[in-house]
Amino acid sequence: MSDSPATAVQFLDARGERVSSAASERFSEYADEVTVELLQSFYRDMLVTRRFDEAAAALQRQGQLALWVPSVGQEGGQVGAARATKRQDWIFPAYRELVMARVRGVDPLQLIDMLRGNTHGTWDWQSTHFHQYTLVIGAQSLHGTGFAMGLALDGKASTGNRETDAAVLTCFGDGATSEGATSEAFVFATSYQAPVVFFCQNNGWAISVPTSTQTRTPLAVRAAGFGLDSVRIDGNDAIAGYAVTRALLDKARVGDGPGFIESMTYRIGAHTSSDDPTKYRSSDEVDEWGARDPITRVRLRLEAESVDDEFFADVDAEAADTAADLRARISQRPLPTAESMFAHVYSEPHPVMAAESEWLRQYEANLAGES
């Protein structure tokens, strides 16, 4: 650890100024990779996702979605971390990693399918290297660790080649750190020196429960105790997200040990569309964090770098298009068939599946015949 793991690394402050500190020094080489062009891509990912997010929330209110899980306010750390992954890397998300999904090329309508109740989540994890959402808090932390162990066993990681070795980025929230599975993932990751970096979005809340109920020490300090290379970042600073994730992934991929990032951010919206956060938190707190918006600061930086209006207009247009596309396509998503309930429970033939799907087929046919 370059410094106490509790000191947050920041490269871009809320006013869009480039900053540095003793804590950030270790990562400045990686921060320097963030060209204006790369920063523009961050901006685009964040803004388009924000507009998509807002559109989806609106569609949920109109009854088009069973549930919506917003990521508003958390785009900064997410875009930095996701853009820090190399093509060969893999992401194991929790369920609030909307920007990361975009960065890895997931069709957002497939995310929508899940929240509409059509599927349990069916994007192409093999080509996107972006795994399904995991809804049982903490469970994916072990999957990501085992997967990383597998990469190393396979010679796809830990060979010492920083360009071609692969690594895993595993995401979860502050609340998830209380589940035994998450601690167990730390144990396995360190025991096998697996090429994995844990990306914990500490957004202050686990539904209505503040982070202070889950921990009395910074989560980065807890993770460091397990022997993870542990860093706290300003989670609303995309550059910090990028630089620190890149550094820790590069270290992990070559076999030099797993890492942990505590990304200090805030959930500006509700936990999900089912939640009413006014019941448990103050609007002051929300406002305070609103002033630290991750998108605004990148925009200020880009403006300071004299990026022209055309770029911003183009991003706005893409955002509008993406939202429009969502509205246009949402009601045309393919519905699941009855048969699909039975078809994939097992990879190989199973007599109960055959019998039950046949029974349902005939039952449905009879019902249709009767009416």
Partner 1 sequence: MSTQQLPAQLPIAKAINAGLRAAMADDDKVLLMGEDIGTLGGVFTVTAGLEAEFGERRVFDTPLSEDGIIGSAIGLAMAGFRPVCEIQFDGFIFPGFDQITSQLAKQTNRHVGSMAMPVVIRVPYGGGIGAIEHHQESPEAYFAHTPGLRIVSPSTAHDAYWMIQEAIASNDPVMFFEPKRRYWQKGPVDPSNSGLPLHAARVVREGTQGTLVGHGAMVGVMLQAAELAAADDVSLEVIDLRSISPIDFAPIISSVEKTGRLVVVQEAPSFVSVGSEIAAQVSERAFYSLQAPVIRVGGFDVPFPPAKLEGLHVPDADRVLDAVERSLGY
Which spans of this chain sit near ligand TPP (rule: CB under 6 A)? 96, 135-137, 172-176, 201, 203, 205-207, 267, 271
CB of 181 to a copy of itself, least distance (A): 6
Candidates 13, 179, 256, 356: give the one binding a copy of itself (CB under 8 A). Answer: 179
The residue (of 226 and 311) whose beta carbon lies closer to partner 1 is 226
**Stretch of residues binding a copy of itself (CB under 8 A), selected from 9-17, 53-61, 185-193, 244-252:** 185-193
CA distance 158 to 256: 8
- Our finding on whether 57 is near partner 1 (CB under 8 A) is no
- Our finding on whether 184 is near a copy of itself (CB under 8 A) is yes
DSSP H helices, the chain, are 22-25, 28-31, 36-61, 75-84, 98-103, 108-116, 125-128, 139-153, 180-191, 211-214, 219-225, 238-253, 283-290, 294-304, 309-329, 340-343, 351-370
Q: How many CB atoms lie within 10 A of CB 316?
A: 13
- Our finding on whether 255 is near partner 1 (CB under 8 A) is no
- Our finding on whether 272 is near a copy of itself (CB under 8 A) is no
Q: Which does 296 bind (CB under 5 to 8 A by kind): ligand TPP, a copy of itself, partner 1, none?
A: none
Start-to-end CA distance of the chain, whole Å, equals: 70
CA distance 368 to 182: 49
Contact of 201 with 235, CB cutoff 8 Å: yes
Closest by alpha carbon to 70, among 326, 274, 262, 281? 274
CB of 221 to partner 1, least distance (A): 16
| 91 SS3 class | strand
Q: Which does 225 bind (CB under 5 to 8 A by kind): Mg ion, partner 1, a copy of itself, none?
A: a copy of itself
Q: How many CB atoms lie within 10 A of CB 20?
A: 13
**Residue span 114-153 as binding mask against partner 1, x where in contact by CB under 8 A, dash where not:** xxxxxxxxx-xxx----xx-xxxxxx-xxxxxxxxxxx-x
CA-to-CA separations, 234 to 1, 12, 91, 180, 223, in angstroms, rounded: 17, 9, 20, 26, 17
Contact of 137 with 164, CB cutoff 8 Å: no
The residue (of 195 and 235) whose beta carbon lies closer to partner 1 is 195
- Our finding on whether 227 is near a copy of itself (CB under 8 A) is yes
- Our finding on whether 224 is near a copy of itself (CB under 8 A) is yes
Q: Which does 96 bind (CB under 5 to 8 A by kind): Mg ion, ligand TPP, partner 1, none?
A: ligand TPP
Total residue count of the chain as it appears in this document? 371
Helix axis angle, 309-329 to 108-116, nearest 10°: 40
**Residue span 210-249 as binding mask against partner 1, x where in contact by CB under 8 A, dash where not:** ---xx-----------------------------------
Candidates 35, 161, 208, 282: give the one binding partner 1 (CB under 8 A). Answer: 208
The residue (of 261 and 330) whose beta carbon lies closer to ligand TPP is 261
Residues found near a copy of itself in the complex (CB under 8 A): 177-181, 183-184, 187, 190-191, 213-217, 221-227
